Structure 1
Amino acid sequence: MGTLSLTDYEEVKIPVPWGHISGRWHGNRTERPILAFHGWLDNLGTFDRLIPLLPDNVGVLCIDLPGHGRSSRLQPGMHYSVYDYVFIIPRVMKEYGWHKVSLMGHSLGGIISFVYAALAPHTVDMIISLDILLPIPINARGKDLDTLGRNMEKHLVEDERQEEGNLREPPAYTLPELRKVLAKGSYNSVPPKEAQHLLYRQVAKSQLYPDRFYFSRDARVKFYHHLYLQEGLAAEMARRIKRKPYLIIKGSLSPYVGRHCDEAMSILGESNPHFELHEVEGTHHVHLHAAEECAKYIVPFIRHHRPPTLNTWSLAGQEAQLSSKERRLAQEQFFARHKPSKHRSKL
């Protein structure tokens, strides 16, 4: 069996009331693909290094969320939120007539996948979550509340600017400068050498300065409405997902799969041989800068839970799924390394 080709894809435009959802359907287009969602401020290019490592028996439909990449922006006066992004999944399913969906998401995309799987578990057959499970809880000391207040004000300013038709260009940069700006904006999670995978779908050529470019995504997405889940709610959502095939890959240097996820992960993994948790050395964009290491877990997971329809194919061989014993041992070692100290605050 082979792997997907990054250049073998079909550009898609899925109509929605405010415009369209832009995407790329890689590989097999005769069967239902894996539906892939990127993270906040990113676009479908985030999967460019991972796609060529995935098995070619399934397709992968990567989309740009509204306001990101080449998808349409929401109308003036509207606000972006995680809740609304969740509704993109049933819209895509309706467009193609799917009754089931396989999900893969990084960061915001992983949160969207978790929420949708909890709301409509009967329609989900597999989830791959890249360095995320739940959103990080809001700071109880009020620091995050201050940030939310400032973001509300900034969103209104940006909304008024767009509604008034102010066509003044955002700041423009050379391509080397853009790589550095993107790396800094991601807290160096995206190395400058990998920045081109995200830039080609979210920059436009400046009309004022030759050889310079500016970010073309909707600036309002920077101030989108976050989702905050109390532990009890997150646990109940995990119970609704039950024994679904669920793969979580954590970047070793990232805080996004932390103690706040322990209860939900414990529920997802309880008596569930289809639950996997693995740690790969790297930052939040571990699937981008360490794609090969992530693929070591993603490929057998896909081949096990979305096998080819050919009767001659077998799960046996070098690419077989890790045994249940090996998987359980890896998970126990992970939880042991990340067990909270007695002296740590529970906040």
Structure 2
Amino acid sequence: MGAKIKNNKESDNPRTQDIGAIRLLVTVKEIKIPVPWGHVAGKLWGDADRRRPILALHGWQDNAGTWDTLAPMICDKIPILAIDFPGHGLSSWHAPGIQYYPWETVRLILYIKKYYQWDKVTVLGHSMGSIVATRYACLFPNDLDYLIALDCLFPEEYNIKQFVENYPRIISKLHHLLEKPYSEPPLYTYNDIIHKWHEGSNKSISLESVKVLAKRGIQKSLNDPEKYHFSKDGRISYAYYDFEDKYFLEAFTMRLKCPILFLKAIHSPFSTSKTFARLEKTIEENNPNFEKHLIPGTHHVHLNNPDIVIPHIENVLRKYKLI
């Protein structure tokens, strides 16, 4: 079983959680995983002493709350351990002067696997979380027993000319941010910050779902108790995904061995490029246990409408005897 999931004492008790019109009594624990730069925060649904949980990874600038609506619907069958990536939610930020590097999030899975002494990892990822899990599965093909990827598998295709032209501006903005002393981020009323997040996601996240993410994603101002600011580290906005050669990606993708369920949201712009289609074909040709389904919804369908996603997840978990 590995190490037990450590948690804060005040979070040990079962709590009632609303899922639409349903009220579920679920055990939710706040956890902290020590890492060299501080801690990785997270939430655990279900009993991890009974069996190894699914590791749930959220999307860029979201947080572990992205699973608040889905996890209670399945945690009686298998526990869900959702983390906040560094600089997100309640997790520690990197040290001053340090840039966030996308591949470091891949190494984070190694920290968690070692900390809990897991022999294998089952990952449920959304967007950036799916990309992180896919990269990990390519690096360590024998480590994952199953990957459930929501709406993404690889970084989006860049226009190389635009990438080169934008990079100096990105680096300059990041350098300015790294040099200046910390100051409180821009402040908003609660209603304004909710709408700003909703609009910033291109309305992919419903207003009600934004309120779910806001539980970990915003903080009250220390100077103005009537105002709020985003709790994320501003540096993550400049964690540009590296431009990766197509031949590297194709060779890398051929290392994928574990069974994969890929759920593609119909009303999402992601994972629609020619490059993605080519890489998906590579997976299909080399991995007989790759399964794809098109589902109605936006990029955040798992948060807005978990009832659409859950049947597919339960089907594959039963198929591979994980539940």
TM-score, normalising length: structure 2: 0.87
**Residue 7 of structure 1, CA deviation:** 4.2
**Residue 235 of structure 1, CA deviation:** 1.9
**Residue 272 of structure 1, CA deviation:** 4.6
**Residue 192 of structure 1, CA deviation:** 1.5
Matched, 1:70 2:90: yes
Q: Select which of 86, 90, 105 maps to 1:85.
A: 105
SS state at 1:125 partner: strand
Partner of 1:11: 30
**Residue 270 of structure 1, CA deviation:** 3.0
CA contact (8 A) 2:60 2:127 kept: yes
Whole-angstrom distance in 2 between the partners of 1:85 and 1:126: 19
User: Matches of residues 209-248 of structure 1 in structure 2 within 5 Å?
Assistant: 209-242=224-257, 244-248=258-262
Whole-angstrom distance in 2 between the partners of 1:95 and 1:65: 16
Structure 1 pair 271–85 and aligned structure 2 pair: CA distance change class (3 A): closer
Whole-angstrom distance in 2 between the partners of 1:88 and 1:271: 27
Q: Which moved more, 1:231-240 or 1:22-31?
A: 231-240
SS state at 1:240 partner: coil
Deviations 1:218-277 (A, max 9, x none): 1001101313333322222221113x2101111112221123222222232237553211
Partner of 2:195: 180
Matched, 1:268 2:288: no
Whole-angstrom distance in 1 between the partners of 2:212 and 2:37: 27
Q: Which amino acid aligns with 2:260?
A: Y
User: Matches of residues 25-104 of structure 1 in structure 2 within 5 Å?
Assistant: 25-30=44-49, 31-54=51-74, 56-104=76-124
Partner of 2:172: 153
Max radius of gyration: which structure? 1
Q: Percent identity?
A: 35
Partner of 1:203: 218
Matched, 1:256 2:275: no
Whole-angstrom distance in 1 between the partners of 2:210 and 2:226: 18
**Residue 55 of structure 1, CA deviation:** 5.2
Matched, 1:123 2:146: no
Query: In the comparison of the two structures, how many residue pairs are matched?
Result: 300
Whole-angstrom distance in 1 between the partners of 2:200 and 2:171: 20
- Taking only aligned residues, the RMSD between alpha carbons, in angstroms, comes to 2.0
TM-score, normalising length: structure 1: 0.82
CA contact (8 A) 2:46 2:75 kept: no
Matched, 1:192 2:207: yes
Whole-angstrom distance in 2 between the partners of 1:227 and 1:181: 28
Structure 1 pair 302–20 and aligned structure 2 pair: CA distance change class (3 A): same
SS state at 2:219 partner: strand
Whole-angstrom distance in 1 between the partners of 2:75 and 2:137: 24
Partner of 2:40: 21
CA contact (8 A) 1:4 1:54 kept: no
Structure 1 pair 7–147 and aligned structure 2 pair: CA distance change class (3 A): farther
Runs (4 or more) in structure 1 with deviation over 4 Å come to 3-7
SS state at 1:248 partner: strand
SS state at 1:210 partner: coil
CA contact (8 A) 2:45 2:75 kept: no
SS state at 1:297 partner: helix
**Residue 190 of structure 1, CA deviation:** 1.0
CA contact (8 A) 2:42 2:84 kept: yes
Whole-angstrom distance in 2 between the partners of 1:286 and 1:307: 23
Unaligned runs of 5+ in 2: 1-21
Whole-angstrom distance in 2 between the partners of 1:116 and 1:44: 19
Matched, 1:144 2:139: no
